[in-house]
Amino acid sequence: MNYRYQRRYAGPLQAVIFDWAGTVVDFGSFAPTQVLIDAFAGFGIDISLAEARVPMGLAKWDHIRALGDMPQVSARWQAKFGREMTDRDVDAIYEAFMPLQVAKVGQYSHLIAGALDAIAALRERGLKIGSCTGYPRVVMNALTDIAAERGYAPDCIVATDDLKPGGRPGPWMVLHNVIELGVSDVAASVKVDDTVPGIDEGLAAGMWTVGLSASGNEVGLTAEEWAALTPVAQAIKRAVAEKKLYQAGAHYVIDTIADLLPVIVDIEARIARGERP
């Protein structure tokens, strides 16, 4: 008879790995989307905010490529230039996008309400704080200093172009966090993100995943716009975002990072019962 031993991690959580825009900073995730709109406008192509949000979570070059591949955007490009968008065109838009993003990232990247308290509570529980992003390193160099001035300094920061394999939805950025943070088992990590590629990333790495609805790309409102909605209107928008994130495989979906601590407690209880992500 063949016996197969299945090892199960039974210890405490060791790390939480956060996305940036729409997760810890930039309620509604406007810095990446609005600047993409501006970059395309420089080439005479109008992109709506809703369109710009569709590929959110991808590396920015891939995001631009995905936008260009959308049928309606492709049709506009062909009407303007008489041909399909090429990778060389993507390069040109990306080169126009980058200085705009660096210049404007701080304008949008204020900390989401409750973020510092939530992260402090995680640290009090002995958890390390990791992070990764669809932003390239040049943007993160600017954003890291801005965030630190505002009180947020994670233990690890991985930008989408730091690693050769690439960014989301692959697991490489979060796995690099695992290595840098010295986490002994991927099941001792939680990935928190507001986008489907970010949830895919955590699942691909074998982690617990938490989606954020209200503060993220799927709702796509400022904090003030969200607060101004009636409870019924909030429920409608929340339900759409929750459905998309749960369908992506998120283990939990909450409104914002401020709601995270009870989820962490529940995950540790599930680990103690022998469950794995």
CA distance 48 to 26: 19
> Last residue of a domain, which of 84, 108, 132?
108
Total count of domains within the chain: 2
pLDDT tens track of the chain, all 277 residues? 555 556 789 899 999 999 999 999 999 999 989 999 999 999 999 999 999 999 988 889 999 999 999 999 999 999 999 999 999 999 999 999 999 999 999 999 999 999 999 999 999 999 999 999 999 999 999 999 999 999 999 999 999 999 988 889 999 999 999 999 999 999 999 999 999 999 999 999 999 999 999 999 999 999 999 999 999 999 999 999 999 999 999 999 999 999 999 999 999 999 999 999 9
Say yes or no: 186 and 69 in one domain.
no
Say if residues 190 and 230 touch (Cβ distance below 8 Å).
no
* 19 assigned to active site: yes
For residue 251, being part of any structural domain is answered with yes
Domain interval for residue 100: 32-108
One-letter amino acid at 93 equals I
Q: Is 193 exposed, middle or buried (0-12, 13-18, 19+ CB in 10 A)?
A: buried
Point out the catalytic residue in the list 26, 38, 46, 60. Answer: 60
Residue spans of beta strands (DSSP E) within 58-161: 128-131
Nearest Cα to Cα of residue 24 among 257, 274, 259: 257
> Last residue of a domain, which of 70, 86, 108?
108
The angle that helices 231-247 and 196-204 make with each other, rounded to 10 degrees, is 40
Looking up residue 72, the CATH number of its domain turns out to be 1.10.150.240
For residue 4, being part of any structural domain is answered with no
For residue 5, being part of any structural domain is answered with no
For residue 64, being part of any structural domain is answered with yes
> Last residue of a domain, which of 93, 108, 123?
108
Please state the pTM of the whole predicted model.
0.92
For residue 277, being part of any structural domain is answered with no
Say yes or no: 153 and 193 in one domain.
yes
* 104 assigned to active site: no
Q: Is 114 exposed, middle or buried (0-12, 13-18, 19+ CB in 10 A)?
A: middle
Say yes or no: 73 and 87 in one domain.
yes
Say if residues 253 and 245 touch (Cβ distance below 8 Å).
yes
For residue 150, being part of any structural domain is answered with yes
